[in-house]
Amino acid sequence: MREDKIMRTVRCRNDHQPGTLAQLLMSIAHFGAEIGEIRLIQETPRHIVRDITIYADDQEQLEQILQAMHANPGTSVMAVRDEVLELHQKGKIAIRSRYQVDNLYTLRRVYTPGVAEVCLRIAAEPELARQYTAIGHLVAIVTDGSAVLGLGDIGPVAGMPVMEGKAMLMETLVGLSGVPILLDTQDVDTIVETVAAIAPTFAAIQLEDISAPRCFEIERRLQTRLKIPVMHDDQHGTAVVTIAALTNACRQSGIDLFSARIGQIGLGAAGNAIGRMLVKHTGNPVLGADLSEDALRRFEADGNQRSTLQEIMANADIVIATTGVPGLIKPEMVRPGQIILALSNPVPEIDPEVAVAAGAAFAADGKSVNNVLGFPGILRGAVDAQALRISREMYLAAAQAIADLAPNDELVPNPLDKKVHQAVARAVARTAIQQGLAGNEFVPYAES
C-alpha cells in the first residue's frame, strides 16, 4: 500500500464489450490516480465483474474518480470498499485461552479448585508468578493519545488502532502479549500513579504516543519507582533504528559516523532521544534545531549544540528530521553527499527520491527506518532477562544487531524477519547480563 495515499477497492460490473475496461481505466488515469490490482471476480456472456484498486492523493480526487467511474458507458459501480477499515473491524487483537475448556476435568484444574494451589504457591514465593501466570509475557502499552503518529493530540480512544497494531507486532514477531491501556488524562502525576498501580500485572511497560516534554518525566519517574523495564518507544525505539540505519549508511557512503557532523531537526520525543543517544555513542555533540526554547535547552543539557535548520542543512554531513512538517526540507537545501533521514510519518520532510536527485548520498524516510525493527526485540530481551531497566548499552546493542543483519545494499533489514527480532532480543538480554541488570532465571528468546 502507498501509505501517503487513499486506497479504495471498487467493484465494477462492465458490459462484455471490447473497450469498456480500457475506457474505464482511461477515465481513472485522467485524474492522475494510480491503479493497483485488477482482479477478475465473475464473467458471464453479458457482464464481467472486477475489483479495481485505486490510489488517490486526497478525498476530492477520490470523489472525482468515483464519479467518472459511475459515468463510464457500460460500467456499473457495485461497491466501494475501504480495505483498511475492514481490517480494523471489531479491532485487531483479542485475548484467547491457551487451553480448550470443554470438560469438568480441565475446568477443575484451570479454575476451581485447582487454581487455589497455584495462588498459595505464588503467595509464598512471589517470583513464581512469572512461571505460573501470564505476567512473564504481558506488556502494558500505555497512551494518553496526546501525540499519535503525525496526527497530534487526538485522544486515547482514537489512538487505540495504533496500540492494537503495536500489540499485534509484539505477538507476531516475538511472542509477547501487549495489552493496550488508554488513559483519559494528560496529568503527569495521575499517569505515573495509575501505571505504577497496575504495574504488578506486567513484565514491562511500553509508553506510547505521549507528547513531549511530559513523556520524559513520566518515563523517568516510572522507571525510578518500578523494578521492571519502562520504555518510551517514540524515544528509544526510534533512536535505536536510526543509529542502525546510520551505521550502514555511513559504511556504504564512506562517511565516518564518529567524525561526521550530525544535525537533528526537530527535538521532540524522537529527536531528543536520537541526539542524546548519538552524543553518547559518538562522543561528539549533535547540532539541534527546534522552535521550542525549552526543547533547545534540554538538548544542550545533554551535551549537544543548538543550531538552525539553515545551518544544519549547510554544514551537517548527516541530517535527521523528526519534525512532523511535510516538505520542510527543500531540494535546494540539500548539500551533495549528505545522508538524509526524513523520518516523519506519514509524510516526510523531503521525499527520499527527491533528496537523492538533489545530491544526497543516501536518503530514507520513516517507512523504512521504522521503530518496528526495535521495540519488539528490545522488550523481548529485557523481559527474558528480567531486567530491572533498559540501559543505554542495551539500546546500542540492539542498534548494532539490527545494523549487522541488513543486506549489503540496504540500510536496515526486513522488519518482518523474525530472525532479526530474535537477534535483537539476544543482544539486549546478553548486555543486561553483562551489566548485572538481569534476574536469576534468564531464558533466552528462541523462535517457537
The residues annotated with a catalytic role in the active site are 111, 166
Phi and psi angles of residue 195, each rounded to the nearest 5 degrees, phi first:
-65, -40
* Separation of alpha carbons 308 and 323, rounded Å: 13
* Separation of alpha carbons 428 and 100, rounded Å: 35
- 189: Cβ–Cβ under 8 A, 6 or more apart, which residues? none
In sequence order, which ranges of 226-351 are alpha helices (DSSP H)?
233-253, 269-282, 293-301, 309-315
380 with 402: CB under 8 angstroms?
A: no
145 φψ region: left (φ > 0), alpha (ψ -120 to 50), beta (else):
left
Cell numbers representing residue 168 in the block: 499485534
DSSP 401-429: HHHHTS-TT-SS--TT-HHHHHHHHHHHH
The C-alpha angle 278, 283, 286, rounded to 5 degrees, equals: 50
Q: Which of 319, 318, 313, 372 shows the shortest CA–CA distance to 345? A: 372
Give every strand in the sheet of 339-342, ordered side by side: 305-306, 287-289, 262-265, 318-321, 339-342, 362-365
Q: For residue 382, what are the CA distances in angstroms to 242, 336, 389, 425, 438?
A: 20, 41, 8, 7, 8
DSSP 286: P
Q: Which of 267, 214, 269 shows the shortest CA–CA distance to 237? A: 269
CB atoms within 10 A of CB 202: 26
* Separation of alpha carbons 275 and 267, rounded Å: 8
